[in-house]
Structure 1
């Protein structure tokens, strides 16, 4: 591999038998110039991007962003791959690094970061959220910036999206937004805000994830017996009507098609939530 262009101390563009690639590694361009051969022992990542627009953006990003921020982002990605036992595709290196750069810029200027789906993300994606917490410690240690938990949630979602794009069969990253919308509908019907830190709320989110997961990951939902569906629709008629409205919205806004079985299960869970909150039976 011969160097065609040096992007920064840790990234170069190379010619590898006629194919252009971006090579990253600690000190990969140290005491090197154009046409010099890259030291194989310094290579940590190689990028071959056929999307020219994305490829050009990656080059620009590596040239313009602070190297310490790029290094932190790459460390987070490597840690996530190890913890989740998955190999991400190239997009995460652009998406997460770009996101972190803008987030850090906002924090330095004193702007607040607010994540309306923080609790849903924490409950739905605990492994990714732990990686976000690891990222917060790393950023504090290396960049001397304390990021809020809201930003931890955003990092977790970037990692979750990368897992999904890697083909692991994980749920779509839209699931958190979908459930967040459902929770708002439930609060409206109950005329009561739900305590995001409560056990009842955690159970609700977990149950909705379990019910909706089959639609999101492409596998067929476990179908209830038709007779059970008929009985449940009668017994929980009001909540079934609300479940119907919520799942219709899910299909319109998110493309998630739900079955009668799933709507019944949602209605039953909403009835249980109502009882846990001490509301009179509907």
Structure 2
């Protein structure tokens, strides 16, 4: 394989089968230029990104090499922990995010992640990777990042998983869940133990409900008699579920089916009983 273009010491462009590809590896392009041979033993990753190829090349040329390398190490660790190959887009998104975050912190600018508690609960494996990433960044770059960044890294990792919703959809769903939880706290007039199993189950249920709506998947039915019993026996919880339904309809044009109110009522009821 011959080098078509050197992007930085650790990345080159080459052509194979008439297709331009990017090869990455430590020192793969050190003291090399166009038409030099690539040392196959140094190649760790090869990318073909189609319409995003140019953007990735620009990032590789313009971002600090150590930021890109650390991002790649985080991605490799994530793939190992999740036993999955992440989408190629994460190499652009995470490298760009990490470099920008480092720049912000160097300027003393910190951004609070208002969805951190929901991210911790909804995406636990990815959040654990985010926490590891902060420790790795400290070790490799000697930069201490706030725990809020673990949440942002977790979202990038989650959206890179196969069949996961895009970042925009993911952020919107997480925001909606945060707002629904706020309504529950207000209606029950209490704080909620975010480490409790009841809370974890509620968040998981709401996440899957929003995903089903986004993908036009059918909801589980509930017997009408059972629903009528819930309305009477757990009146406060059901009214809270109705408030949530009206809120998401008014704010996001999301329509939960009647049966779904029954399931949400049961989750709210568990939290209320625990209180």
Give the TM-score of the pair, scaled to structure 1.
0.85
The one of 250, 260, 263 equivalent to 1:262 is 260
Does residue 1:121 correspond to 2:119, yes or no? yes
The one of 136, 139, 143 equivalent to 2:137 is 139
Per the alignment, residue 167 of structure 1 pairs with: 163
Query: For residues 46 and 257 of structure 1, what CA distance do their matches in structure 2 show?
Result: 44
Contact 1:4 1:34 in 2 (8 A): yes
Per the alignment, residue 204 of structure 2 pairs with: 209
Per the alignment, residue 247 of structure 1 pairs with: 245
TM-superposed deviation, 1:16: 1.6
Structure 2 residue matching 1:46: 3-state secondary structure: strand
Contact 2:158 2:164 in 1 (8 A): no
The one of 71, 75, 78 equivalent to 1:77 is 75
TM-superposed deviation, 1:234: 3.1
Superposition map of 1:189-208 within 5 A? 189-192=187-190, 194=191, 198-200=194-196, 203-208=198-203
Query: For residues 59 and 48 of structure 2, what CA distance do their matches in structure 1 show?
Result: 16
Per the alignment, residue 19 of structure 1 pairs with: 19
Structure 2 residue matching 1:167: 3-state secondary structure: coil
Superposition map of 1:15-94 within 5 A? 15-51=15-51, 54-94=52-92
Query: For residues 249 and 11 of structure 2, what CA distance do their matches in structure 1 show?
Result: 44
Per the alignment, residue 280 of structure 1 pairs with: none
Query: For residues 275 and 77 of structure 1, what CA distance do their matches in structure 2 show?
Result: 42
Contact 2:87 2:160 in 1 (8 A): yes
RMSD, matched Cα: 2.6
Contact 2:177 2:206 in 1 (8 A): no
TM-superposed deviation, 1:13: 1.2
Give the TM-score of the pair, scaled to structure 2.
0.87
Per the alignment, residue 8 of structure 2 pairs with: 8
Contact 2:25 2:42 in 1 (8 A): yes
**Aligned residue pairs: how many?**
270
Contact 1:124 1:206 in 2 (8 A): no
Query: For residues 159 and 5 of structure 2, what CA distance do their matches in structure 1 show?
Result: 31
Contact 1:132 1:152 in 2 (8 A): yes
Pair 111,169 (structure 1): closer, same or farther in 2 beyond 3 Å? closer
Structure 1 residue matching 2:6: 3-state secondary structure: strand
TM-superposed deviation, 1:24: 1.0
Moved more, 71-80 or 178-187: 178-187
Structure 2 residue matching 1:28: 3-state secondary structure: coil
Where structure 2 has 5 or more consecutive residues not aligned to the other structure, the ranges are none
Per the alignment, residue 221 of structure 2 pairs with: 223
Moved more, 239-248 or 70-79: 239-248
Where structure 1 has 5 or more consecutive residues not aligned to the other structure, the ranges are 278-282
Pair 199,131 (structure 1): closer, same or farther in 2 beyond 3 Å? closer
